[in-house]
């Protein structure tokens, strides 16, 4: 595997790419798209958690997750629903576990942000606050 293959295969690179692409896409989503993504994200949490988890419990867990985790769960939902990122020539990356601690890597986040700035001329950064899905 070459250098680029190793870089692109690093979980923090994939997670950072997804997070920044979803961050850029969020303002472009319609209310029905947000509702569909929220429902799929809740289903995802119910599927990976203990059997019988209620949608309310899954929603509470999603609301309490870090922004990086929330954005990577939304990336999985977007991918499953066939939604494209706002930068249409980019693609969402495969992330095995959106809750994995190795998805949070400031160096990877800065590297992806620099790449998006260089390639598209857009400033991409994570918002500080977690998403409150109750208001979606």
Which whole-number Å values give the CA distances from 130 to 21, 45, 49, 66, in the listed order?
Answer: 16, 17, 21, 6
Q: What is the mean pLDDT of residues 14-26?
A: 96
104-120 residue pLDDT tens: 788 999 999 999 999 99
Single pTM value for the model:
0.89
pLDDT digits (tens, 9 = 90+) for 90-104: 999 988 899 998 887
pLDDT of residue 63: 96
Q: How far apart are CA 21 and CA 50, in angstroms?
A: 30
Cα 96 from Cα 107, distance rounded (Å): 20
Please provide the size of the chain in residues. 136
């Amino acid at each position: 595997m070459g250098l680029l293959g190793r870089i692109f295969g690093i979980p923090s690179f994939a997670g950072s790419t997804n997070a920044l692409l979803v961050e850029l896409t969020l303002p472009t989503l319609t209310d029905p798209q947000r509702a569909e993504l929220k429902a799929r994200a809740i289903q995802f949490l119910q599927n990976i958690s203990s059997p019988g988890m209620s949608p309310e419990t899954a929603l509470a867990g999603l609301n309490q997750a870090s922004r990086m985790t929330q954005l990577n769960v939304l990336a999985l939902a977007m991918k499953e629903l066939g939604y494209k990122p706002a930068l249409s020539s980019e693609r969402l990356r495969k992330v095995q576990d959106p809750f994995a601690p190795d998805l949070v890597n400031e160096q990877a986040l800065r590297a992806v942000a620099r790449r998006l700035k260089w390639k598209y001329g857009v400033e991409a950064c994570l918002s500080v606050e977690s998403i409150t899905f109750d208001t979606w």
